[in-house]
Structure 1
Amino acid sequence: MNKNWISKFAGVYVAMYSAYDEQGNVDSDRVRRLARHYVGTGVKGLYVGGSSGEGMLQTEAERRQVLEAVMAEVKGELTVIVHVGANATRESEALCRHAEEVGADAVSAVPSIYYRLSERAVETHWQRMIDSTNLPFIIYNIPQTTGFSLTPALLGRMARQERVIGVKMSGESTFELQQFKATGGENFLVFNGPDEQYLAGRIMGADGGIGGTYGVMPELFVKLDRLFMQGELAEAQALQFKINGIIKRLLGYPSLYGACKHMLGLRGVETGSPRMPLLPIEPEHAESLAALNRDILDLIAAGK
């Protein structure tokens, strides 16, 4: 295993949102402005085309368009991990090759969804992606949405390959996270997925995190990570609790992503509404979201 993977990839990654125009089409200019928004916040990089980015609701051409805009804007400034998971293996392979062509740093994928696939089928699906490029590959484990739970046995087999460098652990068990780290070994990356337990994930061995709510408060997660690294756990715990209060309020809206995108719009970063069937924000939500946005910005300002 390449011993440089930890230093190259460990850290805080924003799971980047989609960016559409008023007609709901991918808007490359808005994608670029959104990517630029995160430069200078302290994050390590961007995770493009995942759940928060609505990759599964976009065509292959749209996913390429998004990534091309991101790379045109922040290549060399932020580390870019591209989610290439798709239902059809051949589409994922094509997205892998495209990611390599435009200079992405790594690719990542969930299992194919809808069909209840065997472990062998999922392993073959991922292996075809791994073999399609020379890019590092990061497994994305999110059983609550895919219906597939990564086993230590499968992880162990895959982690023996040099280009399989880590796993994004979005399952809710920090015990499983710790076991994945133990299975992969010291130099195998584990990213915490659930934003509300970032600190717990780091304590249990995660090397960083990838999350959707980071997109409206990246500075808070960067500070949380710094407090953990400095051993200031009581202060880190207090900050995690404040972050969780924000997340709880966000989850009270019909669409988490719609709420986050709306708040970015209040800050001058327009990204459009989420794509149906994800729900948009209704007019009656505007006042409470403006208040939440102010609370987040005040918390960020207080931490500087």
Structure 2
Amino acid sequence: MDRDDVSWRGYWPAAPTPFTAAGALDEQAWRALLQLYAAQRVHGVLVNGSTGEWFSQTPAERRRVTEIAVAELSGRAPVVIGVTAYTAAEAIDLARHAAETGADGVLATPPPYVHPGPDEILAFYRAVSSATDLPFMVYNWPRGVSVDISAHPGLMRRLADLDRVVAIKDSTGDWLRMLATVEAVSEQVRVFGSFLHRRGLAVLMELGGDGNIDGGGLGAPFAVPYYEAVAAGNAKAARGWADRYAGLSARLINPDYSGVHGTPIAQLKAAMAILGQPGGQVRPPLLPIADPAAIDAIGAVLRESGLAETLAQGGVAAR
């Protein structure tokens, strides 16, 4: 398989998993969130990724979250399931369930905590990606697993050569390394990275790259039309949408993907609560943001970026 075997592109939320205040999986809120994404016409959805708090779910819960997502979004947007786990065997079990459920693809980081070397990373991805017939997305997430795939010369290309790998999500905090990934493999596999700004637009227009997978999808009203403008070759319109998105994201997320006003997932869910979106609560070990000053600061970003007003006016971008 290669990049031409899938149509994955554009703006995808990495969906948060809603929990109740008591810590239970909130299936009603999860369905409502998926319907919101469909209404916003996002180009795909990542389920049970880092933002989905896979690390605090049981295997049964991860399967249930997958089943609901596929049922709600089937035929409306690609659904890729995160199967990150500490061992290949665990990831394979989740990948096989995703395939049985009807997902469009699977994704995994290298095993967290383990600090594997290049050959071990390659062996892990060879085992997990070959366990099903689903297209596979490699996820480089140094902040979460303490290993930066892009720091190992030639490793991205070795991973892109695996039979089922069709895409790479490169979330290194080093933007130049992400550009090196684009240069190395974007003609072979899809590359999702940091492109939602004017520098990213220049890369998309001239060098390559396919989309952003964004924690939570708050910026969808700005990011969806950005990628539609990119697809149409309309750089002027894309610059305008990029500036609006940057006015939101740069005040909430630092360049290393940490949150400005709290833990990123807790901050996201606080913002969603302010906007009346069905994000639910975080689950321990994460804690909700309770500091009134932090909540006020998040609310100010949502207002001053124009996002709150856009949503209040029914801000669903047209394709």
Q: Give the corresponding residue for 2:130.
A: 131
Q: Does the 8 Å contact 1:85/1:111 carry over to 2? A: yes
Structure 1 SS opposite 2:23: coil
Maintained 8 Å contact 1:168/1:193: no
Partner of 1:257: 265
Q: How far 1:181 moved relative to its partner?
A: 3.3
**How do 1:62-211 and structure 2 match up within 5 A?**
62-150=61-149, 151-184=152-185, 186-193=187-194, 198-199=200-201, 202-203=204-205, 204-211=207-214
Matched, 1:275 2:283: yes
Contact 1:191 / 1:206 at 8 angstroms: preserved in 2? Answer: yes
- Mapped to 2, the partners of 1:264 and 1:185 lie a distance apart of 33
Distance 1:112 1:43 in 2: 29
The Cα of 1:10 is off from its aligned counterpart by: 1.8
Percent of residue pairs identical: 28
Shift of 1:2: 4.6
Deviations 1:223-256 (A, max 9, x none): 2212333444355334333322322332431133
Distance of aligned partners of 1:149 and 1:276 in 2 relative to their CA distance in 1, 3 Å threshold: same
Q: What per-residue deviation string (whole Å, max 9, x for no partner) do you get for residues 104-131 of structure 1?
A: 1011110011122121211111111112
TM-score of the pair, normalised by structure 1 = 0.88
Cα distance change on mapping 1:187 and 1:156 into 2, 3 Å? closer
> Cα gap change, 1:97/1:50 in structure 2, threshold over 3 Å: closer, same or farther?
same
Contact conserved, 1:177 with 1:206, CA < 8 A, in 2? no
Deviation at 1:31, TM superposition (A): 1.2
Structure having the higher helix fraction is 1
Match in the other structure for 2:255: none
* Contact kept? 1:24, 1:272, Cα under 8 Å: no
Match of 1:41 in 2: 40
SS in 1 for 2:30: helix
One-letter code aligned to 1:77 = R
CA distance in 2, matches of 1:155, 1:257: 28
- For 1:211, the aligned partner's letter is D
Query: Which amino acid in 2 is paired with 1:212?
Result: G
Compared CA separation, residues 266 and 76, structure 1 to 2 (3 A): same
Counterpart AA for 2:118: E
State the SS of the aligned residue for 1:181.
helix
Conservation of the 8 A alpha-carbon contact between 2:10 and 2:210:
yes
In structure 1, what is the equivalent of residue 250 of structure 2?
A: 248
Contact 1:171 1:194 survives alignment (8 Å): no
1:55-113 CA distances to partner (integer Å, 9 max, x unpaired)?
12322222112111111211121110111111122110111001101011011110011
Is the contact made by 2:135 and 2:165 (CA closer than 8 Å) also made in structure 1? yes
User: 1:21 touches 1:271 (CA, 8 Å); kept in 2?
Assistant: no
Aligned equivalents of 2:242, 2:153: Cα separation in 1: 29
Q: Tell me the distance in 1 between the aligned counterparts of 2:297 and 2:3.
A: 47
Distance 1:194 1:67, change over 3 A: farther
Q: Which moved more, 1:287-296 or 1:97-106?
A: 287-296
Q: Separation in 2 of the partners of 1:303 and 1:62?
A: 31
**1-structure distance, mates of 2:50, 2:195:** 12
Pick closer, same or farther for the CA change 1:84–1:161 going to 2, 3 Å. Answer: same
Separation in 2, partners of 1:92, 1:26: 21
Stretch of structure 1 that moved more, 121-130 or 176-185: 176-185
- Tell me, yes or no, if the aligned pair for 1:174 and 1:200 is still in contact at 8 Å: no
Is the 2:14–2:46 Cα contact (8 Å) retained in structure 1?
A: yes
In structure 2, distance between residues paired with 1:252 and 1:147: 21
Q: 1:296 aligns with which of 307, 311, 314?
A: 307
Shifted more, 191-200 versus 47-56: the winner is 191-200
Specify the code of the residue in structure 1 equivalent to 2:244: K
Cross-structure match for 2:228: 226
Tell me the amino acid that sits aligned with residue 277 of structure 2: V
Residues 114-167 of structure 1 show CA distances to partners (whole Å, capped at 9, x for unaligned) of 122121211111111112111111110122332222235222223223311110
